[in-house]
Amino acid sequence: MNLFSKLQYKVKSRLNTYKNKQRSEKRKETILDYYAKNEPATPELKAAVAYLKNHPLGVFQDSFTDKYNFKDVEVHKDESKNLLWVNHGGHRLYFKRSYNAITVKLLYNGLLAEQDPESPHRYTAVGFDLKQGDVLLDVGSAEGIFSLSNIEMLEKAVLFEREPEWVEALEATFEPWKDKVEIISKFVSDQNDADNICIDTFLSGKSFVPDLVKIDVEGAEDRVLKGMELTITQHHPKIALCTYHKQDDFNKFSKYLSERNYTISSTKGVMFFLSPGEALIPPFFRKGLVRAIFSGDTV
C-alpha cells in the first residue's frame, strides 16, 4: 500500500467512525425517548435502559464490559504463515490474513466480552457445558474461539465455516489437533449442494454423535434447525442457539425446541443488535441465546 492509499484509507476509516458514532447517538436518543414514555416490560429491559442513560449505545448494556480493554491485547505475527495471532489460554488463535493488528485487538477484546459469565452471548453455563470426551459441532465457527477454549477436553470438534479467510486461520489455529478437528468449508443449511450441507446429512454414517451443537450463523439459524431435525429427534444434543440476529428469534426458537421436548433457558441480560436493513423498533433490545437441553420423552 503506497502513501496515498494509506492516507485515503485513514480518511475513510475516520469518516466511517464519525458516521457510526452519529448513528449510534441518534439511536440512543430514540430508545431513551421511547422508554421515557413507556415503562420497560421486563426487569432486564429496565436495567438495559438505566445503563444506557449514562453510557454509549453498544451491543451489551452492562458494566461487565468494563473489564475488557482492547489496548491490553497483545498481538503476535507468525512469520512462517504471515498471519496474526493472540495467546488464548496458552494456545495460538489466528485471525484473517486481511486483518491488521488494531482489528485483531478490537475483535479479540469483543470475543472475550461475548463469553464473559455475565454476557447475554455466553454459550455455556453451570449445568450447560462441555465435558471430557464430548463431541462439539461448532456451526458458524468464524475464528473458532469457542472450540479452542474447549479443545483439550473434546474427543472431536467439527467446525463449519464458509469464509475462506477464516478457514485459513482455522487451519492454522487447529494444526496441533488435526487428529480430532474437522473443518467443513460449507454453509450449514436445510439443503445439500456444492456450498451447503445439512447436519443430518453430515452425520449420516458417522461413528460419532454430537453432545453439543453451537449455532451462530448470522440469521440463518432456522435453516440450520430444519436441516438437523433427525439429529434433534434421535440424538438429542444440547443446543446453544443465537437469537439476537432477529427480534422474534428467541420466542420462535424457544417454541420450536420446546415442541421437541427440550427444556429452554437463556442467558443474563439483553443485547442491542440490528441486522442490515432492519428497522429500529421497540423493544429495541433482544435476548442473545437459547440454551436447550432434551428433557426426555413425552409421557
In tens, the pLDDT along 207-230 reads 999 999 999 998 899 999 999 999
List, for residues 141-186, the tens digit of each pLDDT value. 999 999 999 999 999 999 999 999 999 999 999 999 999 999 999 9
Residue 19: predicted pLDDT: 74
Across 109-163, the runs of DSSP E, i.e. the strands, are 135-139, 156-160
Asked if residues 73 and 110 have their Cβ atoms less than 8 Å apart, the reply is no
> Over the range 37-48, which residues count as b (16 or more CB within 10 Å of their CB) and which as e?
eeebeeebbebb
| pLDDT exceeds cutoff 90 at 129 | yes
Q: What are the residue ranges spanned by the domains of the chain?
A: 3-58, 122-294
List, for residues 63-122, the tens digit of each pLDDT value. 999 999 999 999 999 999 999 999 999 999 999 999 999 999 999 999 999 999 999 999
Residue 20: predicted pLDDT: 80
Q: Is 219 left (phi over 0), alpha (psi -120 to 50) or beta?
A: left
Residue 101: predicted pLDDT: 98
Please state the pTM of the whole predicted model.
0.91
List, for residues 23-34, the tens digit of each pLDDT value. 999 999 999 999
CATH class of 122-294: alpha beta
